[in-house]
Structure 1
Amino acid sequence: MDITELILFQHHEQRRTFALLDEVPRDDVVALAAIWSRLEVLLEVHAAAEEKFFYPRLLTVGRGASDADNARDETEDAIKDHNEIRDAVRKVAGLATGSDAWWERVTEARIANSDHMAEEERQDLADFRRHADLQTRHDIALAFIAYENEHAYGITPVDRDPKSYVEEEG
């Protein structure tokens, strides 16, 4: 098992779940609510697991990849992105499922998440593949997946200050 492959797989699952929303008739609020509820959990637990297991190690082994100068910049940007995704997800709460306002907020979350995943795949995961040994990649994947399974029903979203995170974890 490799953490970079696991994260890529989960990115696909997130994209697929957003796409499922597109398939549901707009008046099927039960299905929309069920899919969105699951997606909220997927997004938050994934972000929390990255912050707990992946990014601290990226800070120690990464050097920067693609259009990122260094691992500190990659990590700070990722934490900022996670906050933006959390904020967008929070905006969905309390809206009538399937309403125009609900779809606007879901789309905002989708865009924030899509932008983050593209950047993470281009920078952070590439950096980690280049600089982390296979045993490290395996060990982090096992801890990551155990954490996600332990929190399969969700956790309380917590925004983090990106600069403080990098200072504490780096």
Structure 2
Amino acid sequence: MDITDVILNDHHEQRRMFAVLDEMHDASASDLDAVWSRLRILLEVHARAEELLFYPELLSLGEGAGGKDSPEDETSDAIHDHNEIRYAITTVGAHETGSAEWWRAVAQVNEVNGDHMAEEEREGLSDFRLHASLDLRHAIGLAFCAFEAGHAGGITGHDLDPESYIRRHQ
């Protein structure tokens, strides 16, 4: 179990769930709510697990990758992205399920999350693969899976200040 693989698998599942929604435009509101609820939980729990388990280690071991000069740049950008994703998620809840506004809000979540995943895959995950031992990658992967399983019913997401986060974890 490697944390970089766990995160990539989560990214795949998030993309798959957005694809499922893409095919549900004629579905009932209750079916849309069910799929959206699961996706929302996946996004929120995944982000929190990264903030608790992955990014502190990246700050400690990383050197910068994929166009970023440092692990601080990678982490600050990721925390900022998580805040954008949380905001976009709350926007979905402000609209009637299945309405045109709801679909636009879901598309916005997909866009900001997609941008985040692409950056994370070429920056933080690459940096971590290059600088973290296999033992550490395994230990964090297991802890990440345990956190996600323990919070499968969801969590309340909270925005973080990227600069304060980095100071606290250095």
The TM tier, using the shorter chain, reads over 0.9
Q: Please name the residue that 1:56 is paired with.
A: 56
2-structure distance, mates of 1:6, 1:26: 33
* 1:19-76 Cα distance to aligned partner (Å, 9 max, x none): 0001113342121111000001000000000000000000000000021100000000
2-structure distance, mates of 1:52, 1:26: 38
Alignment of 1:65-76 (within 5 A): 65-76=65-76
Q: Please name the residue that 2:23 is paired with.
A: 23
Q: Please name the residue that 1:104 is paired with.
A: 104
The amino acid across from 1:30 in the alignment is S
* 1:60-101 Cα distance to aligned partner (Å, 9 max, x none): 000000211000000000000000000000011131101000
2-structure distance, mates of 1:25, 1:108: 16
Q: Please state if 1:4 is matched with 2:4.
A: yes
The amino acid across from 1:53 in the alignment is L
2-structure distance, mates of 1:135, 1:26: 47
2-structure distance, mates of 1:154, 1:32: 17
Q: Please name the residue that 2:145 is paired with.
A: 145
The amino acid across from 1:144 in the alignment is F
Query: Sequence identity of aligned pairs in percent?
Result: 56
1-structure distance, mates of 2:107, 2:89: 10
* 1:119-143 Cα distance to aligned partner (Å, 9 max, x none): 0000000000000000000000111
1-structure distance, mates of 2:93, 2:26: 17
TM-score normalised by the chain length of structure 1: 0.98
2-structure distance, mates of 1:94, 1:84: 16
2-structure distance, mates of 1:8, 1:135: 18
The amino acid across from 1:164 in the alignment is S
What residue ranges of structure 1 are gaps of 5+ in the alignment? none
2-structure distance, mates of 1:82, 1:98: 25
Q: Please name the residue that 1:160 is paired with.
A: 160
The amino acid across from 2:18 in the alignment is F
Runs of 4 or more consecutive aligned structure 1 residues displaced over 6 Å after TM superposition: none
Residue 164 of structure 2 aligns to a residue whose secondary structure is helix
Q: Please name the residue that 2:33 is paired with.
A: 33
The Cα of 1:146 is off from its aligned counterpart by: 0.4
The amino acid across from 2:157 in the alignment is P
2-structure distance, mates of 1:149, 1:29: 27
